[in-house]
Amino acid sequence: MSLTDRVAIVTGSGAGLGAGYARALAAAGAAVVVNDVSADAAERTAAEIRDAGGRAAVVVAPVGPSETAQQLVEVAVETFGRLDALVTNAGVLRDRSLLKMTDDDFDTVIGVHLRGTFTCVRSAWTHFKETGTAGRIVTIGSPTGQRGTFGQTNYAAAKAGIVGMVRTWALEMGRSGTTVNAVVPVAATAMTRTVPYFAAAIEAEDAGQPMPDFYRKGLGFGTTDDVAGVVVYLASEQAAGINGQVIGVGGDRLQLWSHPEPVLSLEQDGGWSADAISEVAAARIREDLQSVGERFPALPAELDRSTQAS
């Protein structure tokens, strides 16, 4: 996969998954605008890219404000002469259960994830449309946005909202040749590092060993590098025609998420009163109730660190 002569922006690319995306895009030949709120982190990623023979520029600014979005586009064009792809990865967490979540907890996460994606995509799309560029936009979703996670009201709302925007933008951008898709990554990060369920996988990664197949295949859980490939592909010219999709990736597993579809449709002459629902529909609804949240299978004994510790 060659991205030679192409230019990409990756928000939140000072560390973690974002840094992995930036390095992978650069390794494929793209010049990359690295963005982060930490100057040290952004410069570190940029230095890694340059040391490997790639090209990188740095923008230190929080995503969310329209000014940052415009600055990212301007730096790409002024430094490298063009813009071809945008990866909206920047994010923060403020996890708390609903009754403990403050207005600031909610607004901060929505501002970075949802507004940050909106403003950056709007600026990139404006440039693509004005220059006649068939651009590539890759947004980052989450299993939480697809299924929910306890204590992540704000994050779930933001990630679900991103997918909703992607489907809308695909309709608006489709005829131009620009594509916009969401990637749902499942990988070892600073957050998963603290979860006992993933301890054996993290141990293997830290030791430079392959993660056990239980994680890589059964859960689709792996490393940052396992996710980066789909981002590189969606940023390439070869991804033309793939638009408005939600693609999950992690470990050895790649998934295409469906758009929400009804699982039950009933008709009732005269419409549905509360009594009619109770008498006719309620039992059928209960038969098809949909699950919420992620349900992980039990760990094999050899991977269960809590059992071994006791």
Q: How far is CA 161 from CA 23, 143, 158, 165, in A?
A: 27, 13, 5, 6
Question: Cα(193)–Cα(8) distance, rounded to whole angstroms?
Answer: 29
Question: Cα(33)–Cα(42) distance, rounded to whole angstroms?
Answer: 10
Question: Cα(264)–Cα(55) distance, rounded to whole angstroms?
Answer: 52
89: nearest Cα among 259, 266, 237, 224: 224
Question: Cα(117)–Cα(121) distance, rounded to whole angstroms?
Answer: 6
Q: Which of 155, 197, 215, 233 is catalytic?
A: 155
76: nearest Cα among 124, 16, 126, 13: 124
In the residue annotation, 155 being an active-site residue is answered as: yes
Task: Report the DSSP beta bridge partners of residue 35.
Answer: 59
The strand ranges marked E within the chain are 7-10, 31-36, 56-60, 85-88, 136-140, 179-185, 246-250, 253-257
- DSSP string over 150-208: TTBHHHHHHHHHHHHHHHHHHHHHGGGT-EEEEEEE-B--TTGGG-GGGHHHHHHHHTT
Q: Which residues are catalytic?
A: 155
